[in-house]
Amino acid sequence: MGQGVSCSRSSGEHEFYSAVQSGDLQSVEAALQCEPGLIHRTTIYDRLSALHIAAANGCIEVLSILLDRSVQPDVVNRHKQTPLMLAAMHGKSDCLIKLLEAGANILMFDSLNGRTCLHHASYYGYSDCLQLILSEAQTASLAESWGFARFVNVRDDNGATPLHLAARQGRRDCVHILLENGGIVSATTGTYGFPGSTALHLAARGGNLDCIRELLAWGADRLQRDSAGRIPYEVALKRGHGACAALLNPSAAEPLVWPSPLKFISELDPDAKALLEVALMEANREREKNILKGTKYSLPSPTHYDDGADDAASVTSDVELCCICFDQVCTIEVKDCGHQMCAPCTLALCCHSKPNPTTLCLPSPSCPFCRCTISRLVVAMPKMNMDEDSGDKFGSPKLRKSRRSQGFSGCEGSSSFMGILGKLGRASGRKNEPDDLMDKP
Ligand SMILES: [Zn+2]
Ligand SMILES: [Zn+2]
């Protein structure tokens, strides 16, 4: 080969990898000009290619020129890990996007634990990467060949789904995204019918209160036993996670469960969904307060709770109060009949019965005002001062914001309705307990 002194093999290779790692585009190009073969070489021990190094370090420019020079996007290292997996492990979403554009395969398994890029994104808690991979999985080819639902619940060599890993590591956002995309909340790590741990067991083990809340709100079963015969409550107790144990105690009040089996709930627009989700969190937080009352545990302050309590009260007179609780502002409208109510009341209406265990179907609730069956919910249009907001059908963003914070913040403190909500949650739980325990055909 006709290279000069600076292109001697060992030093050239070392300089090349350093340049890739630091994202030094000029040096990378110079090195490749000098010795084009470098692009296909790997490090000696870990067998990392330049593409792996660029992806792990988020060097998007270097990654791009490597891909432009037709480097195979799915080249694997010593542990059969692809650059895509490394980007997911390190949260390098730019590189992840670029690799996906270049045709990287999301359904590759590494040889360490048989994990996919979805496992890695969940384990390390990079929710943006997780979301990107899930979007990619919805594309026709994978959805057809493997099925989207199967991909979301893909197991590693230990039987762990991405949801198990996210719960174990305390990645609340990832837990949420996975559940929303069809992650099976009751899946166990046991294979071939053997018992194993659920995500709730793993969250209990790690003492991840946020993840426990999230899982319970998606209907995780507090009575399921792991391979050692323990329920999540016992796991939390043994590990000394007192507050978690209090919520997992089967004799404590049951939380409200997000009514995901309802068709119109899965079709909610993002704004209406956000309102109802916050109402659910608030109702369950109220329940938690009651559970933890008298114990030495207190709740940490909510992670993303939009507190608009101060400015809310001043505008209360302008807007219409919910005719069910006379406490909150109407934020949700039943599209079919136009009747409005507040988010907590809407939620209570949707959560008051549990899904039928045999069909996983919820009976559709009906409007409390006219008894018509609810098939669509939208964010309520303000009924006041409409002429001031000419043009925008849904009111100005500012108005909506104040309405929203108002609706939420009113839940803080003990409104009488929260008591009703709590009772509703408990009552429905008690009523349905026999159903849960019995194996009906
Ligand atoms: Zn209400
Ligand atoms: Zn109605």
Identify whether 322 is part of a domain: yes
Phi and psi at 351, nearest 5°, equal -95, 0
Identify whether 344 is part of a domain: yes
Record the pTM: 0.78
Is residue 331 within 8 Å of 379, Cβ to Cβ? yes
Identify whether 52 is part of a domain: yes
Query: If residue 347 lies in a helix (H) or strand (E), which one and from where to where?
Result: helix 343-351
- Final residue in a domain of this structure, among 105, 129, 161: 105
User: 374 CA to middle of ligand 2, Å?
Assistant: 8
Ligand nearest to the CA of 324: 1
- Taking every pair of C-alpha atoms in the chain, what is the biggest distance, in angstroms? 87
User: 327 CA to middle of ligand 1, Å?
Assistant: 6
Chunked into runs of 10 residues, the chain (441 residues) has average pLDDT values of 47 87 93 89 91 96 93 94 97 97 95 97 98 92 88 96 97 96 93 88 96 94 94 96 94 88 88 92 89 72 47 53 90 92 91 64 84 91 53 41 40 40 39 38 38
Phi and psi at 42, nearest 5°, equal -130, 160
- Final residue in a domain of this structure, among 77, 105, 133: 105
Report the CATH number that the domain containing residue 347 is assigned in CATH: 3.30.40.10
User: 324 CA to middle of ligand 2, Å?
Assistant: 12
Nearest-angstrom CA–CA distance, 6 and 78: 29
Domain that holds residue 356: 303-428
Identify whether 201 is part of a domain: no
Q: What is the pLDDT of residues 38-84, one digit of tens each?
A: 988 898 889 999 999 999 999 999 999 999 998 899 999 999 999 99
Ligand nearest to the CA of 374: 2
Using a CB cutoff of 5 Å, list residues around ligand 1, an ion.
322, 324-325, 328, 342, 345
Total count of domains within the chain:
2
Identify whether 314 is part of a domain: yes
Alpha helices in 226-294 (DSSP H): 232-238, 242-248, 263-266, 270-292
**Which pLDDT value is given to residue 300?**
58
For residue 109, give every residue at least 6 positions away whose Cβ sits within 8 Å of its Cβ, in sequence order, or none.
80, 115, 116, 156
User: 255 CA to middle of ligand 1, Å?
Assistant: 19
- Where are the strands (E) in 198-261, listed by range? none
Identify whether 21 is part of a domain: yes
- Final residue in a domain of this structure, among 58, 87, 105: 105
Q: Where do we find the tokens 């307990």?
A: 433
| Burial of 16: CB neighbours in 10 Å, binned 0-12, 13-18, 19+ | buried
Ligand nearest to the CA of 279: 1
User: 224 CA to middle of ligand 2, Å?
Assistant: 39
User: 206 CA to middle of ligand 1, Å?
Assistant: 37
User: 366 CA to middle of ligand 2, Å?
Assistant: 8
Identify whether 338 is part of a domain: yes
Alpha helices in 90-180 (DSSP H): 93-101, 117-124, 127-137, 140-145, 148-152, 162-168, 172-180
Report the CATH number that the domain containing residue 19 is assigned in CATH: 1.25.40.20
Identify whether 438 is part of a domain: no
User: 279 CA to middle of ligand 1, Å?
Assistant: 11
Is residue 160 within 8 Å of 189, Cβ to Cβ? yes
**Which pLDDT value is given to residue 71?**
86
